[in-house]
Chains A and B, each alone.
Chain A
Amino acid sequence: MILNGKGECLLANDVALVLLGKKRSNLINQPLSKFIPSTQNVSFQSIKRGRVQTLNGSHGQTVFLHATRLAGGYYLVALAHQGGPSTSSKLWSFGKSTMALPEFFPLPGVEEEPNYRTLFQHSPYGTAVVQDERLVVANPMFCKLLGYRASDDVLGKEIRRFLDEGSRMFFTVLEQRAFRGETIPSRFETRMLRENGTSIDVEMTISMTAHHDVPALILSVNDITDRKELERRLTDSEGLLRNVVNSMVDALVITDLQGKVLDVNDEFERFTGYSRREAFGTEIPYPWVPEEDLRSYIGWLDKLRENNLLRDFDITWLRKNGDRIAVSLNTTLLRNSAGDPVLMVNIARDITERQISRTELSRQLQRLQVLYDLSRALTETFDTEEIARITYKQIEKVIPLDAFFIDLYDERKNIIHPIFTVDVVNGERREFDVRSSMMELDDTMATASVIKGRKPLLELRPEIPSQIRYTPFGNETQATASLMYVPMFSKDRTIGVLSAQSYTVDQYSQDHLTLLQSIANVVGIAIEKANLYQETILKSQEIEARNKELDDFTYVVSHDLKEPLISVEGYAKMLRHEYLQLLDESGREYLQSVVDSCAHMKRLIDELLQLSRVTKLAEKKVPLQLSTVLRDVLEELRFSIRERKISVVVHHPLPEVPAVDTHIKIVFRNLLSNAIKFSRTANPTIEVGAEVQAEGTRVFIRDNGIGIEPEYFDKIFMIFQRLHKRDEFEGSGAGLTIVKKIVEAHGGRIWVDSKPGEGSTFYFIIPNA
């Protein structure tokens, strides 16, 4: 309707008549408020749009009203049917997204109003009215557009036949919506069929009307073929470019110089999960750049000011679903023909694959590191429990696990000794005290098949077997879903089993099993080594204890032997003093033999005592001048040396050695006494010298005496071994044993080199401190 400034109706179309329930003659020149009371005394300018109540029908009717002020103080008032009395609170937007009023308005009343008929006939728009799917009115332009000569050629025909096949469904939908009073696009592009079978592009507007009081559609059609053709041509070159851009395997983001996204390609959509529509207009910070990378990304873009092109910036992008992807970014600045920068083009390449292989590499490196750390850590302990604990800590780094154990296997007794067990009890991972527990190996146990079969075992259960509950070591725990068992070997024996288990279904792969086996191989060696060490320790402790016992025994025995010997010796002396006259020559000789034997036995006993005292070095070693020691000993022995006319040659200088003074004196005294004792009459010579070697200081004492047969080289150092007849060479036989014991107590060694008849050389080494 068109109202004058007083609100009186000057013009009304058919829809208005229907909606208000009045004939045109009753409406024209009447104020609108007569039919819609709420508009009384209301400026239409202030109404603009809203729901109003008509007086049409017994209960009135709710319509939507939209008022527009026209030039000259007139108002254009549009009413729309809401589809029956409405309780809907939904406001009907009557704006630009719906019907275009100027086109909607002039058409009604074409038959009654000659002015409008003329307008209708000469309209540059093809206009037609459709009722019951058929054309009932068509203007000459409509006919001309579709290639018909007169309206008679089109009237009465179905509208469908004038529509392009692809547009029919669309039209039907719009038509139905229009009849229901729903919103429809005010203007849309579609294709129509011409009489000659060709099709034209049109812009079409449809709106509701009434034709002879029956609802009908008004079509307004504009030929846009030329425009379309131009557009199509434009799109073709643009499309080519877009095709290129879209076929790129890299994601592309075009932004303005401020970073506002102007376009993205298909790969970007696939890559990030953000659609072109979502990406368009996005500004920094982009949702696909993680917050932590934002700063470096902005820094990256800043560099563009100095460079036209930036290459290979590794950054993480965040997919819409939250996944992270590794991206290598190349960014260029596009310039216009004047050389001014206009756009930024970001090309992002997915390097997740590369990253994965890098991740895989670092995972392998970590495993190597763990194996290395483990091997190194295991060399530092000889305690099996500690070995197990170290192993657990290392394995934890590379294999996800909830439960872990190491059992040792005693093949001889067929017994399993748990040495370390970790399991989850009441949701908490805990280490159990398993030191005192052991069990017989039962063939039904998983460990049995691993030990007997000597092969690793991977068991993957489809779910946590909730019916199986264990109470190992007094703690109730649940069976796991993923289990790995690997055997530990020492040479060709199975010495135990190592197991890692998880409550996660399908936690382990063959890969994990291989890794666990590698670890178990290292652990096996470590455990074997620890066992050997423990054995050695026990044995050496045993030997030490036995030696101590022997020394104590030697001391006590020799001391006790001394007591009766003193008596024998004393009585012999008493006899000689008091009763010598009563004995004949033989008796006196016998008595002398008793005295001599006592003296000999006393020497034996004294040496035994000495031997028993050279055990562990009770005294502290001090830096000792060998030359001083040697000088003292030669001084002690000077009488026997002089007596036998022996020339002694000392090769100076003699070094300093860390040793116990009194002990080294015994060594020199005994060795030199031997050399003197076994010297021969012609040109007897004794040489003494020393040199510092890697092992320590090597001392030699060389004589040109009777020498020793090679078969006795070892025997001479054994206690009470006598190579010569008693009357030939005097000696107890313990002297070299004492020397050997002292040298060994210093951590050194002694040996002899000799040729019978030519002489002997005794060597001994005293290690450096």
Chain B
Amino acid sequence: MAEHRSALSIVLIDDNHDHARILQWAFQQNGSRNRITYFDDGKSALDFLNSPACDEQGRPDLIFLDLNLPRIDGREVLRRLKGEENTVGIPVIIISSSDREEDVRKAYELGASSYVSKSAILQEFGSVVKTFQEYWSTIAKLPPRK
């Protein structure tokens, strides 16, 4: 049970390589079996999520998405994720360096499941990541895939 709980398939989208690296490290701290697929722009992430390859390896359990992205902005990525049948069911957690109220509100309006400031993740990253993992793997059961 514990094994299953910690084995999450995560997609991380963040153009800041340092942040991505630190976040990946933080997730691995709490379950080395988490599989993290990383994209540094929204376009390639969307392409992947709508590709047969993604279907083959199984859809991710969670998407961590930064708002400040090149080419396709994080908000647009979120809108598209929530507009596609393939991805509409995957919870999206916004990770942002901004804690501006309008950014948070906008994200929830677009269908984000959660919004966490990067500072908060780093401050208490252990507990935050743990909380996520527990919540999304045990409490919030995902709808069965078709």
Judge if A367 is at the interface, Cβ distance under 8 Å: no
B22 touches A574 (CB 8 A): yes
- With A570-B22, A573-B125, A574-B25 in contact, is A559–B119 under 8 Å at CB? no
B122 touches A570 (CB 8 A): yes
- With A567-B19, A602-B119 in contact, is A562–B25 under 8 Å at CB? no
Cα separation A571 to B98 with both chains bound (whole Å): 19
Judge if B16 is at the interface, Cβ distance under 8 Å: yes
Judge if B47 is at the interface, Cβ distance under 8 Å: no
Of the A-B pairs whose beta carbons lie under 8 Å apart in the complex, a sample of 7, sorted by A's number, is A562-B119, A566-B19, A566-B22, A566-B118, A570-B122, A573-B22, A573-B125
Judge if A383 is at the interface, Cβ distance under 8 Å: no
Judge if B32 is at the interface, Cβ distance under 8 Å: no
Further 16 A-B residue pairs, CB within 8 A, beyond A567-B16, A569-B122: A559-B97, A562-B97, A562-B119, A563-B16, A564-B18, A566-B18, A570-B25, A571-B18, A571-B22, A573-B122, A573-B125, A574-B22, A574-B25, A577-B29, A602-B119, A609-B100
Residues of B in contact with A (beta carbons under 8 Å apart): 16, 18-19, 22, 25-26, 29, 97-98, 100, 118-119, 122, 125
Contacts of A570 in B (CB 8 A): 18-19, 22, 25-26, 122
Contacts of A573 in B (CB 8 A): 22, 122, 125
Number of interface residues of A (CB under 8 A): 15
A566 touches B119 (CB 8 A): yes
**Binary per-residue interface labels of chain A (593-637) against chain B in the complex, 1 for a CB within 8 Å, 0 otherwise:** 000000000100000010001000000000000000000000000
A567 touches B29 (CB 8 A): no
A566 touches B125 (CB 8 A): no
B98 touches A559 (CB 8 A): yes
Contacts of B122 in A (CB 8 A): 566, 569-570, 573
* Shortest CB distance A597–B (Å): 14
Cα separation A602 to B100 with both chains bound (whole Å): 15
Residues of A in contact with B (beta carbons under 8 Å apart): 559, 562-564, 566-567, 569-571, 573-574, 577, 602, 609, 613
Cα separation A570 to B29 with both chains bound (whole Å): 13
Cα separation A609 to B100 with both chains bound (whole Å): 9
A567 touches B22 (CB 8 A): yes
Cα separation A570 to B16 with both chains bound (whole Å): 13
Contacts of B25 in A (CB 8 A): 570, 574
Cα separation A577 to B122 with both chains bound (whole Å): 13
**Closest 6 A-B residue pairs measured CB to CB?**
A570-B22, A567-B18, A562-B97, A566-B118, A570-B122, A569-B122
Cα separation A602 to B125 with both chains bound (whole Å): 16
* Shortest CB distance B146–A (Å): 38
* Shortest CB distance A573–B (Å): 6
Contacts of A567 in B (CB 8 A): 16, 18-19, 22
Cα separation A562 to B97 with both chains bound (whole Å): 7
Cα separation A76 to B25 with both chains bound (whole Å): 164
Contacts of A571 in B (CB 8 A): 18, 22
Cα separation A609 to B101 with both chains bound (whole Å): 12
Most chain B beta-carbon neighbours within 10 Å: one of A559, A564, A567, A577: A567
A563 touches B119 (CB 8 A): no
* Shortest CB distance B30–A (Å): 12
Cα separation A154 to B29 with both chains bound (whole Å): 175
Cα separation A567 to B26 with both chains bound (whole Å): 13
Cα separation A288 to B21 with both chains bound (whole Å): 114
Cα separation A564 to B19 with both chains bound (whole Å): 9
Most chain B beta-carbon neighbours within 10 Å: one of A567, A570, A573, A574: A570
* Shortest CB distance B124–A (Å): 11
Contacts of B97 in A (CB 8 A): 559, 562-563, 566
Cα separation A563 to B19 with both chains bound (whole Å): 8
Q: Nearest residue in B to A569 (C-beta to C-beta)?
A: B122
Contacts of B100 in A (CB 8 A): 609, 613
* Shortest CB distance A599–B (Å): 9
* Shortest CB distance B101–A (Å): 9
Contacts of A566 in B (CB 8 A): 18-19, 22, 97, 118-119, 122
Cα separation A569 to B120 with both chains bound (whole Å): 11
Q: Nearest residue in B to A566 (C-beta to C-beta)?
A: B118
* Shortest CB distance B15–A (Å): 10
* Shortest CB distance A740–B (Å): 22
* Shortest CB distance B17–A (Å): 9
